[in-house]
Amino acid sequence: MDLLLHLIAAYGLWLVFAAVLLDQGGVPVPAYPVIVVTAAVAFERGESTWALLAVAVAAAVLADWLWFLGGRKLGTRLVRLMCKLSLSPDSCVVRTRGIYGRWGAASLIVAKFVPGFAAVATTLAGQSGTRTSTFLLFDAIGAVLWAAGAIVLGIVFHDAVGDVLATLEQLGHFALPVIAALLVAFVLWKWIRRRQFLRALRMARISPEELATRLAAGDAPLILDVREVMQRERTGWIPGALLVSTPDEAHVLPHHEVIIYCDCPNEVSAAVMSRALMSRGFRNVRPLAGGFEAWRAQGLAIEGVAMAPMFETRSAT
């Protein structure tokens, strides 16, 4: 195990910095185990772990700050791109927006402990106009707690970590391929789950043209807007649409025809809400194809925005 210990002792801080930067930057690199192992080795050698904590926190805040700047400059486009590429689209567009919408910048304290939340939450912080000082404060607190937790685990379970390192040492030249294979298996598993999730959400959509025609004719279904509050207030909403984030907020009877829209790739948030309502007895529930962006791109009526064209609608009751 001497070679492994030497490598970790010599390059451990650089390894931690790179792993955390990539992990928090959105690359599926498991940075937490790297911190745990490095902390265990430092404890075994009687070295301080304060430098390790500082490096991990610096890398995490740097990556988050870059996402924050991206969210501020690119806004919804970057959020949509991230969710489209995410290995956990359900977490990305449903859980992340719900948590951040409810708790705001304070949610960054726990962001790194929620899978699929950290990078999107920091982007949402930039998109929503959070002050830089507020963002850095909460993000730094979260980074300290996250990195400190890994270091504590490494110290407490240093004997177990040593056994794992000894096993890898015994594998010799096979150690690196084994680690690489485990990483590939992890990414593949996440990709398969993503495919299964998206396949499960395939259902009939209603086109913006069809919905606009029905609204103009006074034949309005119940329309639910499942975007975040700040995005809705900034861009407006489809006439008559009600803002909801959970099925319980819909307050409708199962016989109603319901149209749901969001601003996420593949209408994932809308499809998730649709399936939730269908599981509760609703039968006529459809997402809006292309979401709000498709509606706005065609120049259709929008409420809540100055000078926006409007026409008569009626809400289902």
Neighbour-count burial for 121-152, b at 16+ CB within 10 Å, e otherwise: bbbbbbbbebeeeebbebbbebbbebbbebbe
Model confidence pLDDT, tens digit, residues 160-175: 876 666 665 555 556 5
Residue boundaries of the structural domains of the chain: 2-200, 208-297
The predicted structure's pLDDT at residue 1: 45
Residue 107 corresponds to which amino acid?
A: S
Neighbour-count burial for 196-235, b at 16+ CB within 10 Å, e otherwise: ebeeebeeebbebeebbebbeeeebbbbbbbbbeebbebb
Say if domain 208-297 classifies as CATH 3.40.250.10: yes
Model confidence pLDDT, tens digit, residues 203-261: 678 899 999 999 999 888 889 998 878 778 888 999 999 998 777 777 776 667 899 99
Model confidence pLDDT, tens digit, residues 218-227: 888 889 998 8
Rounded to the nearest 5°, which phi and psi values hold at 123? -65, -40
The predicted structure's pLDDT at residue 90: 47
How many helices (H) and strands (E) in the chain? 14, 4
The predicted structure's pLDDT at residue 138: 95
Contact assessment for residue 20 and residue 35, using Cβ atoms and an 8 Å cutoff:
yes
Q: Where are the beta strands (DSSP E) in the chain?
A: 222-225, 242-243, 258-261, 285-287
Say how far apart CA 276 and CA 289 lie, in whole Å: 18
Which of the given ranges, 53-57, 200-204, 228-232, 263-267, has the highest pLDDT on average?
A: 53-57
Identify which of 2, 64, 58, 1 has the alpha carbon closest to the alpha carbon of residue 35. 58
Model confidence pLDDT, tens digit, residues 70-119: 888 876 666 666 665 554 444 455 555 566 667 778 889 988 887 666 77
Q: Is 120 helix (H, G, I), strand (E, B) or coil?
A: helix
Mean pLDDT along residues 121-128: 81
Does residue 197 register a pLDDT over 60? no
Task: Take residue 268 and report the two structure tokens written for it.
Answer: 């994932």
User: What sign results for the dihedral spanned by CA atoms 7, 10, 12, 15?
Assistant: negative
Where does the pLDDT of residue 274 fall: very low under 50, low under 70, confident under 90, or very high at 90 and above?
confident
In the block, residue with structure tokens 């504590």: 152
Contact assessment for residue 63 and residue 21, using Cβ atoms and an 8 Å cutoff:
yes
Window from 19-33, 103-117, 195-209 with minimum mean pLDDT: 195-209
Task: Take residue 137 and report the two structure tokens written for it.
Answer: 């404060």
